[in-house]
């Protein structure tokens, strides 16, 4: 089924080989008091996409297609957090520091959880990732092979960091990638716009973009 409105040209959705990857819709990025806000960001634009992401997830579940969730977080002893990542930026709180939602970006802490509205269902894959890309140091590739997926629809936050990095990693591994443009968000509108443009530039050099409604219409 083709998504005619996809850019830069129609996307031929294979409803038997597509899965949804929802990147890092965690309290630490979306809620006041979390890592995102500690870096000086306004988290409200990220909160605003939650209903759209929920609609996208519901559509994939209804179609019987896999939904994979990721969480950017680290081991409590920080053994999987490179020193430069720990040191970089000028946050009010650093990774591992105690905050209002537990230790910042630490596996198992409340802040590292996915927001309740988008909670994974039992049986859905949830991958904890120490990097920005979801393929780095995770079993994502093995899971995609096991599920027989060749196409990925991507959603989540932030567009230009973990979403784009994952999309580029997937593209290099041969997956056809479609970014749900209204189910992803950045703290910086200009970075989101630039990311959408660079993804679909040069004949979909990284992949395609399309709206959630169009994706779900093709999936149904």
Contact call for residues 11 and 5 (beta carbons, < 8 A): no
Catalytic residue among 81, 129, 132, 177: 129
Is 177 considered catalytic here?
no
**Residue 13 or residue 125: which is nearer to ligand C5J going by CB?**
125
Query: Footprint of ligand C5J on this chain (CB under 6 A)?
Result: 24, 29, 72, 157-158, 161-162
**Minimal distance, residue 65 CB to ligand C5J, in Å:** 23
Is 129 considered catalytic here?
yes
**Residue 26 or residue 212: which is nearer to ligand C5J going by CB?**
26
Catalytic residue among 24, 28, 73, 182: 24
Is 182 considered catalytic here?
no
Q: What backbone torsions phi and psi does residue 215 show, to the nearest 5 degrees?
A: -65, -45
**Minimal distance, residue 5 CB to ligand C5J, in Å:** 26
**Residue 24 or residue 37: which is nearer to ligand C5J going by CB?**
24
**Minimal distance, residue 186 CB to ligand C5J, in Å:** 8
The catalytic site residues sit at 24, 129, 162
């Amino acid at each position: 089924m083709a998504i005619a409105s996809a850019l830069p040209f129609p996307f031929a959705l294979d409803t038997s080989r597509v899965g949804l990857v929802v990147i890092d819709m965690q309290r630490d990025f979306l809620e006041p008091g979390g890592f995102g806000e500690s870096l000086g960001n306004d988290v409200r634009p990220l909160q605003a996409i939650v209903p759209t992401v929920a609609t996208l997830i519901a559509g994939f579940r209804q179609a019987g297609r896999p939904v994979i969730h990721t969480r950017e977080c680290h081991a409590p002893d920080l053994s999987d957090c490179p020193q430069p990542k720990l040191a970089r930026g000028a946050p009010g709180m650093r990774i591992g520091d105690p905050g209002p939602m537990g230790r910042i970006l630490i596996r198992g802490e409340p802040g590292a959880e996915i927001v309740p509205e988008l909670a994974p269902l039992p049986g859905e894959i949830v991958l904890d990732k120490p990097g920005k890309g979801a393929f780095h140091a995770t079993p994502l590739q093995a899971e995609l092979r096991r599920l027989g997926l060749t196409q990925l629809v991507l959603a989540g936050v932030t567009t230009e960091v973990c979403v784009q990095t994952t999309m580029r990693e997937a593209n290099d591994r041969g997956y056809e990638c479609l970014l749900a443009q209204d189910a992803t968000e950045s703290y910086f509108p200009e970075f989101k716009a630039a990311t959408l443009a660079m993804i679909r530039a040069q004949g979909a050099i990284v992949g395609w973009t399309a709206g959630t409604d169009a994706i779900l219409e093709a999936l149904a």
